[in-house]
Amino acid sequence: MKIVVVGSGGRLGAALLREYRDKYDVAGFNHAQIDLSNLDDVRERLRATNFDLLINAAAFTNVDLCETERDRAFLINAEAPGVLARICREKRAKLIHVSTDYVFDGQKRAPYTEEDEANPISVYGESKLAGEKNVLAAEDRHLVIRVSWVFGPDRPSFIDGIIKRAAQDEEVAAIADKFSAPTYTLDIAEIVGRILDGWSRRAPAPDGLTAGHLQGIMHFANTGRCSWQEYAQWTLDCCHQAGVPVKARTVGALKMKDMANWVARRPVYSVLSAAKYTGLTGTPPRTWRDAVADYITRFYSKK
């Protein structure tokens, strides 16, 4: 199976490329090689490339900048995925498109399922929802995977910022009234790999996945929920346990209303339910605490 990863220079795209290169015939395109804001370039490059599956891990993810650059946000996050989907349809290839928990408004206080109505409250969320719709309208065999609070070794994220600050200062703080679930890129790569195995077999795999499950929308996040403050506190606890040199031991509480530099609205609660994935595979994702501990042990304790 020939796979192309668009956005291979990003946090998730790099992880996908690394995890699959020994198992599949996989190629990656970073931003310099394919710019999703140049649709003619996208068409030219991808139509000249042979593949059976395209994974789109690229997006315009600066939530606040999306508010002031609405046209660019919709071009990259909405129009470009539709173009990718149509190119895949022409090639009789499949598309896995990565989306976000920010398509929800945060009013719910239980994990969001794939059947819950999306109602974004930011331009970023609006553009990502439009991208989902364009992908699924172009070909009903395509798959949208929504993820949340993605972290991993290939590009700094919230967790890396906390560790950096805690190594320099004895006091750190994080928002205590916004909730979701961190999701490890290595875990996303693993579950996508299981989905690929199910598709390539075109028959039920040992975990129950089949080609028929590779369509529509699927949520994936490490299980549990936390605030950014809880996320940061667990990060520090793991650092101390693993011998990672950090000065701070506790994380102070900030409030969303105090974030004066924020332009866009954020959902207060955007926990994604992985019940659909768990029902298909019989195995739930590991907890976010286990994933964070693994990340710190693997990528920080040896430094």
Distance CA 58, CA 103 (A): 16
Domain 2-156+183-223+271-286 CATH assignment equals 3.40.50.720: yes
For residue 207, the model assigns a pLDDT of: 56
Catalytic residue among 20, 102, 112, 124: 124
Residue 20 near residue 28, CB atoms below 8 Å: no
- Candidates 19, 8, 6; CA nearest to 81 is 6
Reported pTM: 0.95
For residue 197, the model assigns a pLDDT of: 79
- Is 286 exposed, middle or buried (CB count within 10 Å of its CB: 0-12, 13-18, 19+)? middle
> Would you state the structure tokens that stand for residue 137, as one six-digit string?
């309208």
Per-residue confidence of the chain (303 residues) as pLDDT tens digits?
Answer: 899 999 999 999 999 999 999 989 999 999 999 999 999 999 999 999 999 999 999 999 999 999 999 999 999 999 999 999 999 999 999 999 999 999 999 999 999 999 999 999 999 999 999 999 999 999 778 999 999 999 999 999 999 999 999 999 999 999 999 999 999 999 999 999 888 877 766 555 555 555 555 689 999 999 999 999 999 999 999 999 999 999 999 999 999 999 999 999 999 999 999 999 999 888 999 999 999 999 999 999 865
Kindly give, in sequence order, each residue whose CB lies less than 8 Å from that of residue 99, ignoring residues fewer than 6 positions away: 128, 129, 131, 132, 144, 145, 146, 147, 217
- 124 counts as catalytic: yes
Residue boundaries of the structural domains of the chain: 2-156+183-223+271-286
What is the residue type of 217? I
- Candidates 14, 3, 273; CA nearest to 146 is 273
Distance CA 154, CA 285 (A): 21
pLDDT in tens, 240-276: 999 999 999 999 999 999 999 999 999 999 999 999 9
For residue 140, the model assigns a pLDDT of: 75
For residue 126, the model assigns a pLDDT of: 98
For residue 1, the model assigns a pLDDT of: 87
Crossing angle for the helix pair 185-201 and 288-299, nearest 10 degrees? 110
